[in-house]
Amino acid sequence: MARLPEDCASMAEVREGVDVLDRELVALLARRFGYMRAAARIKPSRDMVRDEARKAAVIAAARAEAQLRGLPDAAVTEIWERLVEASIAYELAEWDGLHR
């Protein structure tokens, strides 16, 4: 178990914490992309995959959460823009694979 950031006393502890957290983030991304697979299975038409209103709402929610937590909201917004676009591309590929 890695130390909390405020408990780290060395760069080795910081790096260990980052490495553990990165593995956890990838596991969460795998779960998120699982929801994209589910969406591809559920949506009846390919043109329903891209939903600009939903995209904007997801990014705005991430930005608001970043602000609440005192994080750099511009950076979080940029990360979520890329995440959502990658998710859309993944869902489109999944949709195409399921509906050949």
- Give me the CATH number covering residue 27: 1.20.59.10
- 17 touches 1 (CB < 8 A): no
Q: Is 40 inside a domain boundary?
A: yes
Element (H, E) at 52: helix 52-68
Q: Based on the structure, what is the number of domains in the chain?
A: 1
Q: Is 4 inside a domain boundary?
A: no
Q: Is 59 inside a domain boundary?
A: yes
pLDDT at 100 (0 to 100):
83
pLDDT at 1 (0 to 100):
81
Q: Is 3 inside a domain boundary?
A: no
**What is the extent of the structural domain holding 23?**
10-98
- The per-residue b/e assignment along 85-100, b for 16 or more CB within 10 angstroms, e otherwise, is eebbebbeebbeeeee
Say whether pLDDT at 49 is over 90.
yes
Tell me: the pLDDT tens digits for 2-34? 899 999 999 999 999 999 999 999 999 999 999
pTM: 0.92
Mean pLDDT (the chain) is 97
Q: Is 49 inside a domain boundary?
A: yes
Neighbours of 19 (CB within 10 A): 11
